């Protein structure tokens, strides 16, 4: 028997309480260990898709399956501790130190203190924040890039098999962003998580993604490997590729 | 004035004690009721109008009238200090409920969302995220309420509940400023002390951030 996909959407629709359809008939599966990029303009439904996975939003219709188990059969709290989450606004707890922020999920899971400390040290090293220098600091004593690293450390701490990332590098300056993208790509080669990564940046999608799911006004336009994406004649893809090429020409 | 205070030291102390007791008990009750009510409003926003509106109306009733209005109540009306405590508590409720509500709803939405997404239960979010982050604002509400309460408690003497208002009303009827001040000055000192103390608590609670 083959492994079920890590995440599967079957004909999922999401409506707001005001009956506005934000996401329509989405069918998509994410394989174990791949990075799937959700690419699209704002309002295309990328973030909605992400929040449906960890139950921050509930699908109005259709079926979402995580690790072969329907979402509604999961205990929501258990599911969320099984899924790391990193967002653009970071959402660090301002009254917690870097260490306590990173330790959040393992602590919720009642890890023994020694294992917890060792893991937090490890994960802070992993994201490039040596604990002896950073562990005792508060979020307001960090730069934007450092905060984002803490957000990533927090998402990784309990070693969840699935990672959801919502434009985690979006608010950073270009230099820090590229550095973090590179580090993240290297990290992923080691960690081999299943990652769903929301972005509106074609370059980022091409750099990080194993596959790119293109979204447009609440619908999936198609899923492409990065190479196919660049060569696709799909009318939905074209503007992105053209924008990307135009960017490249500036540098040539 | 100071001569009067020194010659009536015992009485000044006793009335100060009564005053502290009136304010202390009503504030404890107001906190015990106001903070949970404020939390409830963040969970059930549709009660917001009723609760905030209701406590707002209480604020508009002149204090002397409120003391009088409560007189016919059973058990409570039997003793002046019970009545005074009830009235003072009602006045203290609004700033406490309001600040609890505002403090919690003022928590940065991404922080709350991250907390939920990390698999914190609603109770864990309340105790570990919302209340600690709102604590500065909640204490600010308690601070305002306490200062109001110390001042209003002087009116309680009008219904015979004691406290430093005794001196003020006595001084008014005797047309003797020394007696008025023997009540007013300790009350003012008490209000300033409470303000400073709670201000310190507020700073301690928010010192690590922003």
Q: Are the Cβ atoms of A91 and B132 closer than 8 angstroms? A: no
State the pairing for strand pair A194-199/A162-166.
parallel
Q: Are the Cβ atoms of B209 and A95 closer than 8 angstroms? A: yes
- Residue B20 pLDDT class (50, 70, 90 cuts): very high
Place of tokens 């909640």: B138
Q: Are the Cβ atoms of A154 and B210 closer than 8 angstroms? A: no
Interchain contact A138–B (C-beta under 8 A): yes
Q: Region A177-201: what's the mean pLDDT?
A: 91
Q: Of the candidates B111, B113, B116, which has its C-beta nearest A93's C-beta?
A: B111
The per-residue pLDDT for range A62-114, each reduced to its tens digit, is 999 999 999 999 999 999 999 999 988 889 999 999 999 999 999 999 999 99
Q: Which residue has the higher pLDDT, B73 or B23?
A: B23
Interchain contact A108–B (C-beta under 8 A): yes
- The pLDDT score that the predictor gives to residue A24 is 92
CB contacts < 8 A (A, B)? 69
pTM of the shown model: 0.86
Q: Are the Cβ atoms of B116 and A56 closer than 8 angstroms? A: yes
**A1: pLDDT strictly greater than 60:** no
- The pLDDT score that the predictor gives to residue A199 is 94
**A14: pLDDT strictly greater than 90:** yes
Q: Region B103-132: what's the mean pLDDT?
A: 94
Q: Region A32-59: what's the mean pLDDT?
A: 93
Q: Quote the minimal CA–CA distance from A170 to chain B in Å.
A: 15
Q: Which contiguous run of DSSP H or E holds residue A136?
A: none
Q: Region B137-152: what's the mean pLDDT?
A: 94
**A252: pLDDT strictly greater than 70:** no
User: Which residues on A lie below 8 Å from B209 (Cβ)?
Assistant: 94-95, 138, 140
What is the three-class DSSP state of A138? Answer: coil
B113, A91 in Cβ contact below 8 A? yes
Helix axes B80-105, B131-152, angle to 10 degrees: 150
**A93, A136, A142, A196: best mutation site toward chain B, by most B Cβ within 10 Å?**
A93
Residue A26 pairs in a beta bridge with A12
**A45: pLDDT strictly greater than 70:** yes
**Predicted ipTM?**
0.88
Q: What is the DSSP letter of A129?
A: -
- The pLDDT score that the predictor gives to residue B208 is 61
- The pLDDT score that the predictor gives to residue A124 is 95
**A145: pLDDT strictly greater than 60:** yes
- The pLDDT score that the predictor gives to residue B77 is 67
- The pLDDT score that the predictor gives to residue B69 is 81
Q: Order the strands of the A7-15 sheet from edge to edge.
A: A21-30, A7-15, A61-66, A69-70
Interchain contact A64–B (C-beta under 8 A): no
Q: Quote the minimal CA–CA distance from B168 to chain A in Å.
A: 46
Place of tokens 């005053």: B19
* CA A23 – CA A43 distance, rounded (Å): 10
Q: Nearest-CA residue of chain A relative to B117?
A: A80
Give the phi and the psi of residue B108 in degrees, each rounded to 5.
-50, 120
CA nearest to B190, candidates B149, B157, B156, B158: B149
**A250: pLDDT strictly greater than 80:** no
Provide the mean pLDDT of chain A.
91
* CA A135 – CA B107 distance, rounded (Å): 24
Interchain contact A148–B (C-beta under 8 A): no
**A34: pLDDT strictly greater than 90:** yes
A131, A122 in Cβ contact below 8 A? no
Q: Nearest-CA residue of chain B relative to A57?
A: B117
- Residue B49 pLDDT class (50, 70, 90 cuts): confident
Interchain contact B132–A (C-beta under 8 A): yes
Q: Of the candidates A93, A140, A154, which has its C-beta nearest B129's C-beta?
A: A93
Q: Of the candidates A78, A80, A140, which has its C-beta nearest B118's C-beta?
A: A80
Place of tokens 């500065």: B136
Residue A7 pairs in a beta bridge with A30, A66
* CA B6 – CA B164 distance, rounded (Å): 15
CA nearest to A104, candidates B44, B59, B118: B118
Residues in chain A: 252
Q: Region A121-139: what's the mean pLDDT?
A: 94
- With a pLDDT cut of 90, the percent of chain B lying above it is 57
Residue A23 pairs in a beta bridge with A14
Q: Nearest-CA residue of chain A relative to B121?
A: A77
Interchain contact B193–A (C-beta under 8 A): no
Residues whose CB falls within 8 Å of the CB of residue B194, separated by 6 or more in sequence, listed in order: B23, B143, B146, B147, B150
Q: Region A156-169: what's the mean pLDDT?
A: 93
Interchain contact A89–B (C-beta under 8 A): yes
Q: Quote the minimal CA–CA distance from B117 to chain A in Å.
A: 6
Interchain contact B129–A (C-beta under 8 A): yes
- Residue B27 pLDDT class (50, 70, 90 cuts): very high
Burial A84-107 (b: 16+ CB within 10 A, else e): bbbbbbbbbbbbbbbbbbbbbbbb
Interchain contact A4–B (C-beta under 8 A): no
Helix axes B177-206, B9-43, angle to 10 degrees: 40
User: Which residues on B lie below 8 Å from A91 (Cβ)?
Assistant: 108, 110-115
- Residue A2 pLDDT class (50, 70, 90 cuts): low
- The pLDDT score that the predictor gives to residue A104 is 95
- The pLDDT score that the predictor gives to residue A247 is 79
Q: Are the Cβ atoms of A154 and B108 closer than 8 angstroms? A: no
Q: Region A211-230: what's the mean pLDDT?
A: 92
Q: Are the Cβ atoms of B110 and A138 closer than 8 angstroms? A: no
Q: Quote the minimal CA–CA distance from A112 to chain B in Å.
A: 18
Which of A13-17, A35-39, B79-83, B107-111 is predicted least confidently?
B79-83
Interchain contact B210–A (C-beta under 8 A): yes
CA angle, residues B35, B26, B75, in degrees to nearest 5: 115
């Amino acid at each position: 028997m083959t492994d079920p996909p890590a995440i599967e959407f079957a004909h999922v629709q999401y409506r707001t309480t005001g009956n506005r359809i934000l996401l329509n008939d989405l069918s998509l599966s994410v394989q174990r260990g791949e990075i799937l990029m959700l690419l699209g303009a704002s309002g295309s439904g990328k973030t909605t898709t992400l929040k449906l996975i960890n139950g921050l939003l509930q699908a109005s219709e259709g079926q979402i399956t995580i690790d072969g188990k329907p979402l509604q059969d999961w205990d929501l709290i258990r599911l969320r501790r099984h899924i790391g989450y990193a967002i653009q606004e970071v959402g660090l707890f301002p009254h917690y130190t870097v260490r306590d922020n990173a330790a959040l999920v393992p602590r919720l899971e009642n890890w023994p203190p020694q294992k917890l400390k060792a893991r937090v040290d490890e994960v802070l090293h992993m994201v490039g924040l040596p604990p002896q220098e950073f562990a005792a600091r508060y979020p307001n004593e960090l730069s934007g890039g450092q905060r984002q690293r803490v957000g990533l450390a927090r998402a990784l701490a309990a070693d969840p098999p699935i990672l959801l990332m919502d434009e985690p590098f979006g608010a950073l300056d270009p230099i820090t962003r590229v550095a973090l993208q590179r580090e993240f790509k290297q990290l992923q080669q080691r960690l081999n998580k299943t990652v769903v990564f929301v972005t509106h940046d074609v370059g980022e999608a091409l750099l990080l993604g194993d596959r790119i799911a293109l979204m447009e006004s609440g619908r999936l336009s198609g899923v492409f490997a990065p190479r196919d994406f660049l060569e696709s004649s799909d009318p939905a893809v074209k503007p992105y590729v053209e924008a990307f090429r135009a960017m490249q020409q500036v540098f040539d | 004035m100071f001569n009067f205070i020194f010659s009536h030291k015992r009485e000044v102390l006793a009335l100060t004690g009564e005053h502290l007791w009136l304010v202390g008990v009503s504030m404890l009750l107001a906190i015990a009721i106001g903070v949970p009510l404020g939390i409830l409003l963040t969970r059930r926003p549709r009660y917001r109008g009723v609760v905030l509106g209701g406590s707002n109306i209480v604020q508009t009733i002149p204090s002397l009238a409120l003391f009088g209005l409560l007189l016919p109540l059973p058990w409570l009306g039997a003793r002046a200090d019970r009545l005074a405590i009830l009235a003072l508590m009602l006045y203290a409720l609004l700033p406490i409920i309001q600040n609890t509500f505002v403090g919690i709803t003022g928590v940065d939405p991404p922080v709350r969302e991250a907390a939920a997404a990390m698999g914190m239960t609603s109770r864990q979010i309340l105790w570990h995220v919302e209340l600690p982050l709102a604590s500065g604002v909640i204490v600010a509400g308690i601070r305002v309420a306490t200062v109001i309460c110390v001042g209003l408690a002087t009116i309680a003497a009008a219904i015979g509940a004691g406290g430093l208002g005794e001196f003020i009303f006595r001084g008014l009827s005797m047309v003797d400023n020394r007696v008025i001040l023997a009540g007013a000055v300790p009350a003012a000192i008490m209000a300033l002390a409470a303000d400073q103390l709670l201000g310190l608590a507020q700073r301690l609670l928010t010192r690590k951030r922003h």
